[in-house]
C-alpha cells in the first residue's frame, strides 16, 4: 500500500522534501507513511512499457545525425524540392532506430529481471503481531523484520536482538567494503532483552531519530527513545543492506532506510549514458560536415541564380518554368534540392554500420576462449556494446585490490623459527626447486584434528615439531593462543574458525595442523590440544591491536602455573622491545623477513616473555583501574602495555600470502609498457596495500623513490605533495599549468587540462585515506593530481567508495584522458560508473560490480588481452572504418558537386537513381563491414609481445580532426579525377562503329563504375589482414554491382517498369568498348598511384611503431613466451598483517559473552565449492640462480 501511495504522490507532483533528519516509530506504518519515506523497492532500469518508445526515441534523436536525417526525410516529402524518393531516407533511418532500440530494450529487460529478482526476495515481517512472509519490495520504514543465518540483509536495519550471547551478530560485508572477513554488530541491552518474543517485539514502540540518508558506510548517528529513556546509536548497532548474516541463527531488526535510501544504493552512483571519444568527435565532425554541406548548397543556389539570369531564359521555350516560380524562388528551392542530393556526405548507413561493427566486436570479446575461466565457467562478457573502441585508448586504470589483484585467500606459506627458515624446498645441489601440484605434500594424518584443506610441502617443519624441539613447539603454541579467533564445532572433531581477519585465520589453521589445535575459549580461558593432549590456559589479559601499536599480546597461565606473555606484530615494532640477548637471532630473522617481503608475503614477528606472578598481579590491578578510568583511559592503558611488552625473547617470524590472482604481475608489467598508468584504490591499510604493490610488480626495486603521504592536516598534506613533486621535477613551476579550452558540440563545454610534466625515472606514490580526503578539497586537488600524475604507480589506502569515484572524476576532468575502473565488489560500483570504462570481476565479493560494469570477466589477467588485443583492434578498426567511410562518401558526393557545373545547377544527379540507393546499402556495405570486423594489423600474439603498439591509441593518432581533414583532401583529389578524366575521355569519343558514345546515361555508368573500382582498390590498400570473408565481401560486391547493373539496364526491366528503369541497354553498349575500360584503368591508376607512393615514402622516412612491428612480423617468427621468474624485490615488510578492528579483544574477554554454543550451528563458509573453502596452496615457479643467467665472458 505504501508503494502505491508513494507512486500516486509522485504522479501528483508532490516533490520530496530534503530530509534534515529522519524520525520513525516501530510498528506504526501510519505514522511513518506520513513522512513519505522511500519503500524498499529498487530500480536500476531506465524504461517501462509506456515510456520506452518516447524516451528511447528522444535519446536517439539527441544524436545529431539522426535528427538531421529526420529533417531530411521531411524535406523529401515536399515534391517541389525533392529529386529523390522519400523511402531512400526513411528505410535506412527506420533500420537504424530499430536496431538501436532493440539493443537498448534488450539491455533494459536484463536490468528489469535483476531488479525483479531482488525485489521479490522474501523475508519475515512483523505485521499486526504476526510474522508474515513478505516480498522485499513491500517492506516499509519502521517495520520489524526477522533474518536467519546466511540471508541477505533486507534494508538498513537497527539491530534489536539476536540468538547470540550478548546480542551479537556476525555479518559478511563483502558487497559493501570488499572484505570477506566477518564483522561483529551488537544490539542495545534494552532491545536485546526482547529476544525472539514476538509479542514483546510487536508491542515495541521505540522511536528513532537519526541522520538522513547518506553514503557514509562507516558512520551512523542516531537516538533510540524507549519508555522515556534515550540511547545513543552508532554504526555498530546497524546492519546495512548488502551484508549477509553469518553464524547467527536469527536476529530481529527495525527498518531505518529502505530501497534507494539505503547506504548501498546511495553509494551506487548515478547511471550515466557513456559515449566514446570517437562518438564526441563524430558529433563535432558531423556538425562541420553540415556546415560544409550548407556551404556547397549555398554555392549551388547562388550559381543557379546566376545561371538562371544569364542562361536559363534560353531554355524556357522548351522547358517552361512552373507557374509562380521565378529565378529567386528557383534558387531557393535549388538550395534544398541540393541538401537532398548531397546528403550522402553524411550517410545514415554510417550509423547502421557503426552499430553492427560494435556489436560484432562485442561478440568477439564474448567468444574469446582465452578470456574464459573454466574453474567458475565464466566467460568474458561485453555488457555494453557501444564502448569497444574506447578500450584501445585507456591511459589510466583505477583498480581495487582485494579480490581484484588478489584472491582474498590467505595461506600460511613460510616461517622462520629460532633462526631456521622453513617452507622452501631444495634439491641435492642446494638449488631451490619449484613447487607444483605434483609435489608431495606433508602428511598430517597423524593429527586427527588437522584441517584437510591445509597444504604444506616442507616435511622438515613437521619433523622438527614432532621431535619435541621446544622453540618450534613454543612458536605454534603462540599462534594457537595469541589471537581473537572464535571456534565453532558443528560436530565432534569438525572445527570451523571465525576470524575477523583472514590473516589470523590462516595462522591459527597452521598451528592446528602442526599439532597445536585451538579448540575452544571462554572469557577466562583458552583450550588447546597440544600434540594430542588437552591443555587449558587461563586467559589473564588481551593487549589488543590498534593502528598505533601494530601488535597484540595475550597473558596466559599454564596448568603448571607458569605465566607467559605472547606477542605478535610488525617486526619493526617487536624488534624495539626485544631483550639484548636476541640481537644475533634478530639479524638472521631479519634476513628471512627480507626474503619473505621480497616475495610479497605478509610478515609478522613473534616473541614471548616469562612473567613473575607477583608482578603480574600488581600489573593486573593497575590494568583494571586504567580500563575503568573515565579520563585518559587510552593513554593509561598504552603506558601499561609499553611497560609489560619489553625485554621479550624472539621466537621467529611468519609469512602469510594473500594470494595474487594468476598473472597479475605480468599483466601490470605489460600495461606499464603500454604507457598505461595504474592507480590502486583500496580500503585496506597502508602496509597491506604497499606489500601487494611490490608483490604484483607495481612498486619496483628500480624505482627512484616511493613517496608516502600520510599527514592529517591540509598544510601537512600540501607540504608532503610539494616535496615529492620538487624531488621528481625540480625545475617545474610552483603553480600547475592549466590550459583552458572549449570542446563538445557547438564548443559550449569549457575544459581545463593540467599539462603532463616530464619526469626522469619512475616514481611511486602512496597516500592514505585521511590525507586523500584533505587532498581532494578544492584548493589541493590540482596539487594532488599534478604530483600523482608524475608517478608511474599511485596507491590510495583506506579510501571510501565515494572517494574512489572522486579520484576518477578528478583525473577525467583535468587530464582529458580515457579512464578505466576495475573492481569486484559493491564498494567499487561508484568508481566503475564514474570512469569512461567500467570492468567488473566476477569473484569472491558478489555480482554487484559486474551488474554495473561495461565489461566483465573472472580474472584480472584478462585485462591485458581486453585492452592490448580487443581494445587496440577495435580502435584501429573504427578509425580505418571512419576514414574509409568518409573517403568513399565524400568522393561520391563531390563528383556530384563537380557535375553541377555542367547541368545548369539544376540538382540533377550524375548517377543513376538506383546506384544512389544501392551505393551505401548494397555495393559498399559488406566490404567496409569486413574491414571493420576482421582487419588486424598484427595478430594477438604480436600485440601482446609488443605492448608499445597500444600507445598511438592513447594519443588518438589514427583518427582525429587532422586525419579527417586529410581524408577530405584525398576525397577532393579523387573526385576531381573520377569526374574530369571520364568527362574528358568521353567528350568526343565514338564507338567502334562510329556512333557517338557521349550521352548522359553512358557517362553516368562510366563514372559510377570508376568510382566503385577506386573505392574497392582503396579498401584493399587499407586492409592488412585478408580473410576468406573479406575476399568474399569485396569480390562478391563487385560481382553484385555488375549483375545488378546489367539486370536493371536490361530490356526486360525496361518493358516491365519503363519509368523506373530508363537506362535500357546502356551497360551492354558501353562496357563492351575498349576505350571505356581504358578510361576506368586510367582513372583508377591516377587515384591510387599517389596514395601508394605517399605511403611508401612515409614508411621509409617516418616509420611508426606499427610499421616496424609489421615488418618484424614478416621477417621473424614470434619467439615462444619466456619462462617467468619469481623476482626478488626490495624489502618492504608491511609488518602487521592483520586488518581487524580495535576493540575485538575486549569483546571476547567480556563476561557473559561466550556461552556453550550448540553444535548445529552453520559453518563459516557454507559453499563448499568456493575458493575460500578450498583454501588451496600457492604454486611456486622455479627460481634460477642469477649466476647462471649472467652472460659468459
Q: Which residues, in sequence order, are bridge partners of residue 246?
A: 170
- Give 3-state DSSP helix, strand, coil % of the chain, rounded to 5: 45, 20, 35
Asked whether the beta carbons of 120 and 135 are under 8 A apart, the reply is yes
DSSP letter string, 987-1006: TT-B-TTS-B--SHHHHHHH
DSSP letter string, 130-152: EEEEEEGGG--TT-EEEEETTPB
Region of residue 377 (phi > 0: left; psi between -120 and 50: alpha; otherwise: beta): left
CA distance 477 to 508: 10
CA distance 853 to 212: 28
Task: Give Cα 999 distance to the centre of its chain.
Answer: 62
Nearest Cα neighbor of 546 from 44, 1161, 1139, 23 is 1139
CA distance 361 to 383: 12
Q: How far apart are the first and last CA of the chain?
A: 86
Alpha carbon dihedral 456, 458, 462, 464, in 10-degree steps, equals: -150
DSSP 935: -
Asked whether the beta carbons of 500 and 184 are under 8 A apart, the reply is yes
Nearest Cα neighbor of 745 from 10, 63, 34 is 63
1172: cell is 575460500
Task: Give Cα 522 distance to the centre of its chain.
Answer: 45
Nearest Cα neighbor of 774 from 794, 803, 752, 753 is 803
List Cβ neighbours of 1028 (8 Å cut-off, separation of 6 or more). none
Q: Which long-range contacts (CB under 8 A, 24 or more apart) does 725-733 make?
A: 725/783, 725/786, 725/787, 725/790, 728/759, 728/763, 728/787, 728/790, 728/791, 729/757, 729/758, 729/759, 729/790, 732/757
CA distance 955 to 845: 35
Nearest Cα neighbor of 785 from 905, 679, 870 is 679
Catalytic positions, please?
400
List Cβ neighbours of 1079 (8 Å cut-off, separation of 6 or more). 981, 982, 985, 986, 1006, 1010
Asked whether the beta carbons of 406 and 412 are under 8 A apart, the reply is no
CB hemisphere CA count around 114 (13 angstroms): 16
How many C-beta atoms lie closer than 10 Å to residue 1185's C-beta?
10
828: cell is 567499487
- Listed in sequence order, the DSSP H helices in 658-776 are 664-673, 686-695, 714-728, 769-775
How many C-beta atoms lie closer than 10 Å to residue 529's C-beta?
20
Which residue has cell 547470540?
A: 164
CA distance 682 to 660: 15
CA distances 994 to 991, 1032, 1074, 1077, Å, are 5, 39, 14, 18
List Cβ neighbours of 349 (8 Å cut-off, separation of 6 or more). 92, 920, 921, 925
Which residue has cell 576462449?
A: 369
Amino acid at each position: 500500500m505504501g508503494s502505491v501511495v508513494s507512486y500516486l504522490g509522485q504522479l501528483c507532483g508532490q516533490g520530496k522534501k530534503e530530509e534534515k533528519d529522519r524520525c520513525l516509530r516501530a510498528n506504526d506504518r501510519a505514522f511513518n507513511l506520513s513522512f513519505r519515506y522511500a519503500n524498499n523497492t529498487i530500480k536500476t532500469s531506465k524504461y517501462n512499457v509506456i515510456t520506452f518508445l518516447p524516451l528511447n526515441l528522444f535519446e536517439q534523436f539527441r544524436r545529431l545525425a539522426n535528427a538531421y536525417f529526420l529533417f531530411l526525410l521531411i524535406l523529401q516529402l515536399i515534391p517541389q524540392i525533392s529529386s529523390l524518393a522519400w523511402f531512400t531516407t526513411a528505410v535506412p533511418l527506420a533500420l537504424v532506430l530499430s536496431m538501436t532500440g532493440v539493443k537498448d530494450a534488450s539491455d533494459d529487460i536484463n536490468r528489469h529481471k535483476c531488479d525483479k529478482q531482488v525485489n521479490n526476495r522474501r523475508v519475515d515481517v512483523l505485521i499486526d503481531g504476526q510474522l508474515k512472509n513478505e516480498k522485499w519490495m513491500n517492506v516499509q520504514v519502521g517495520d520489524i523484520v526477522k533474518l536467519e543465518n546466511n540471508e541477505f540483509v533486507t534494508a538498513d536495519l537497527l539491530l534489536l536482538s539476536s540468538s547470540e550471547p550478548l546480542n551479537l551478530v556476525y555479518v559478511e560485508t563483502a558487497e559493501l567494503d570488499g572484505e570477506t572477513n566477518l564483522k561483529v554488530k551488537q544490539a542495545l541491552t534494552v532491545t536485546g532483552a526482547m529476544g525472539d518474543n514476538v509479542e514483546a517485539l510487536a508491542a515495541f514502540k521505540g522511536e528513532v531519530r537519526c541522520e538522513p540518508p547518506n553514503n557514509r558506510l562507516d558512520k551512523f548517528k542516531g537516538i533510540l527513545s524507549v519508555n522515556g529513556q534515550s540511547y545513543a546509536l552508532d554504526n555498530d548497532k546497524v546492519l546495512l543492506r548488502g551484508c549477509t548474516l553469518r553464524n547467527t541463527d536469527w536476529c530481529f531488526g527495525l527498518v531505518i532506510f529502505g530501497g534507494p535510501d539505503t547506504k548501498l544504493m546511495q553509494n551506487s552512483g548515478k547511471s550515466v549514458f557513456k559515449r566514446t571519444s570517437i562518438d564526441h568527435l563524430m558529433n563535432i565532425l558531423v556538425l562541420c560536415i553540415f556546415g560544409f554541406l550548407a556551404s556547397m548548397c549555398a554555392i549551388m543556389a547562388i550559381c543557379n541564380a546566376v545561371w538562371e539570369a544569364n542562361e536559363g531564359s534560353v531554355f524556357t521555350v522548351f522547358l517552361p518554368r512552373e507557374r509562380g516560380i521565378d529565378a529567386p524562388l528557383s534558387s531557393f528551392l535549388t538550395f534544398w534540392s541540393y541538401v537532398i542530393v548531397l546528403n550522402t556526405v553524411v550517410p545514415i548507413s554510417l550509423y547502421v554500420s557503426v552499430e553492427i561493427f560494435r556489436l560484432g566486436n562485442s561478440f568477439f570479446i564474448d567468444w574469446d576462449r582465452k578470456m574464459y575461466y573454466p574453474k567458475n565457467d565464466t566467460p568474458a562478457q561485453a555488457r555494453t556494446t557501444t564502448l569497444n573502441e574506447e578500450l584501445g585508448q585507456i591511459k589510466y586504470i583505477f583498480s581495487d585490490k582485494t579480490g581484484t589483484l588478489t584472491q582474498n585467500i590467505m595461506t600460511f606459506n613460510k616461517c622462520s623459527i629460532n633462526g631456521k627458515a622453513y617452507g622452501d624446498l631444495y634439491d641435492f645441489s642446494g638449488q631451490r626447486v619449484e613447487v607444483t601440484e605434483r609435489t608431495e605434500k606433508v602428511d598430517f594424518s597423524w593429527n586427527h584434528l588437522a584441517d584437510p584443506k591445509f597444504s604444506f610441502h616442507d616435511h622438515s617443519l613437521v619433523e622438527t615439531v614432532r621431535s619435541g624441539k621446544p622453540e618450534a613447539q613454543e612458536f605454534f603454541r603462540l599462534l594457537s593462543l595469541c589471537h581473537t579467533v572464535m571456534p565453532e564445532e558443528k560436530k565432534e572433531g569438525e572445527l570451523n574458525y571465525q576470524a575477523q581477519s583472514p590473516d589470523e585465520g590462516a595462522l591459527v589453521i597452521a598451528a592446528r595442523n602442526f599439532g597445536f589445535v585451538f579448540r575452544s575459549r571462554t572469557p577466562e580461558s583458552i583450550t588447546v590440544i597440544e600434540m594430542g593432549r588437552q591443555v587449558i590456559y587461563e586467559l589473564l589479559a588481551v593487549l589488543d591491536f590498534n593502528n598505533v601499536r601494530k601488535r597484540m599480546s595475550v597473558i596466559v597461565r599454564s596448568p603448571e602455573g607458569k605465566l607467559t606473555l605472547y606477542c605478535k606484530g610488525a617486526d619493526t615494532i617487536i624488534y624495539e622491545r626485544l631483550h639484548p640477548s636476541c640481537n644475533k637471532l634478530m639479524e638472521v630473522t631479519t634476513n628471512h623477513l627480507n626474503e619473505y617481503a621480497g616475495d610479497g608475503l605478509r610478515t609478522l614477528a613473534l616473541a614471548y616473555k616469562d612473567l613473575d606472578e607477583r608482578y603480574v598481579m600488581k600489573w593486573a590491578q593497575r590494568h583494571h583501574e586504567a580500563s575503568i578510568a573515565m579520563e585518559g583511559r587510552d593513554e593509561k592503558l598504552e603506558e601499561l602495555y609499553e611497560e609489560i611488552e619489553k625485554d621479550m625473547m624472539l621466537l621467529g617470524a611468519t609469512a602469510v600470502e594473500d594470494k595474487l590472482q594468476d598473472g597479475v604481475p605480468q599483466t601490470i608489467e605489460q600495461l606499464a609498457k603500454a604507457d598505461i598508468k595504474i592507480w590502486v584504490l583500496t580500503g585496506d591499510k597502508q602496509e597491506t596495500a604497499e606489500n601487494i604493490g611490490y608483490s604484483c610488480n607495481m612498486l619496483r626495486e628500480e624505482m627512484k623513490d616511493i613517496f608516502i603521504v600520510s599527514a592529517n592536516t591540509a598544510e601537512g598534506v600540501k607540504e608532503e605533495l610539494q616535496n615529492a613533486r620538487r624531488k621528481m621535477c625540480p625545475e617545474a613551476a610552483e603553480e600547475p599549468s592549466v590550459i583552458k579550452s572549449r570542446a563538445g558540440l557547438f564548443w559550449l563545454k569549457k575544459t581545463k587540462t593540467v599539462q603532463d610534466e616530464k619526469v626522469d625515472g619512475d616514481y611511486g606514490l602512496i597516500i592514505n585515506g585521511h590525507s586523500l580526503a584533505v587532498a581532494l578539497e578544492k584548493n589541493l586537488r590540482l596539487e594532488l593530481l599534478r604530483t600523482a600524475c608524475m608517478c608511474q604507480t599511485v596507491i590510495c589506502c583506506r579510501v571510501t567508495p565515494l572517494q574512489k569515484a572522486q579520484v576518477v572524476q578528478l583525473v577525467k576532468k583535468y587530464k582529458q584522458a580515457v579512464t578505466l575502473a576495475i573492481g569486484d565488489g559493491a564498494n567499487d560500483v561508484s568508481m566503475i560508473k564514474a570512469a569512461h570504462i567500467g570492468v567488473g570481476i566476477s569473484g569472491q565479493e558478489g555480482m554487484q560490480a559486474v551488474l554495473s560494469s561495461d565489461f566483465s570477466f573472472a580474472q584480472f589477467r584478462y585485462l591485458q588481452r581486453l585492452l592490448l588485443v580487443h581494445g587496440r583492434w577495435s580502435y584501429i578498426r573504427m578509425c580505418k572504418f571512419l576514414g574509409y567511410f568518409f573517403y568513399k562518401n565524400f568522393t561520391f558526393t563531390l563528383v556530384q558537386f563537380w557535375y553541377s557545373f555542367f547541368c545548369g545547377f539544376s540538382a540533377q544527379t550524375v548517377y543513376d537513381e538506383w546506384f544512389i540507393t544501392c551505393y551505401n546499402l548494397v555495393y559498399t556495405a559488406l566490404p567496409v563491414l569486413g574491414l571493420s570486423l576482421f582487419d588486424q594489423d598484427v595478430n594477438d600474439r604480436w600485440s601482446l609481445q609488443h605492448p608499445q603498439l597500444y600507445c598511438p591509441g592513447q594519443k588518438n593518432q589514427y583518427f582525429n580532426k587532422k586525419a579527417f581533414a586529410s581524408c577530405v583532401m584525398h576525397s577532393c583529389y579523387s573526385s576531381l579525377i573520377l569526374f574530369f578524366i571520364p568527362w574528358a575521355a568521353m567528350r568526343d569519343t565514338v564507338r567502334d562503329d562510329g556512333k557517338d558514345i557521349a550521352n548522359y546515361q553512358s557517362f553516368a555508368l562510366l563514372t559510377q563504375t570508376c568510382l566503385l573500382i577506386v573505392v574497392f582498390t582503396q579498401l584493399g590498400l587499407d586492409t592488412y589482414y585478408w580473410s576468406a570473408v573479406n575476399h568474399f565481401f569485396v569480390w562478391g560486391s563487385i560481382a553484385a554491382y555488375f549483375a545488378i547493373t546489367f539486370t536493371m539496364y536490361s530490356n526486360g526491366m525496361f518493358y516491365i517498369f519503363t519509368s523506373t528503369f530508363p537506362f535500357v541497354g546502356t551497360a551492354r553498349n558501353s562496357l563492351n568498348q575498349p576505350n571505356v575500360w581504358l578510361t576506368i584503368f586510367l582513372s583508377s591508376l591516377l587515384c591510387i598511384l599517389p596514395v601508394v607512393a605517399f605511403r611508401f615514402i612515409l614508411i621509409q622516412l617516418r616509420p611508426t611503431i606499427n610499421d616496424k612491428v609489421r615488418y618484424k612480423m614478416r621477417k621473424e617468427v614470434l619467439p615462444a613466451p619466456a619462462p617467468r621468474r619469481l623476482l626478488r624485490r626490495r624489502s618492504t615488510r608491511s609488518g602487521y598483517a592483520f586488518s581487524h578492528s580495535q576493540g575485538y579483544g575486549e569483546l571476547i574477554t567480556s563476561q557473559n559473552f561466550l556461552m556453550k554454543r550448540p553444535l548445529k550451528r552453520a559453518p563459516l563458509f557454507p559453499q563448499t565449492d568456493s575458493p575460500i573453502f578450498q583454501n588451496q596452496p600457492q604454486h611456486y615457479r622455479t627460481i634460477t640462480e642469477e649466476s647462471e643467467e649472467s652472460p659468459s665472458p
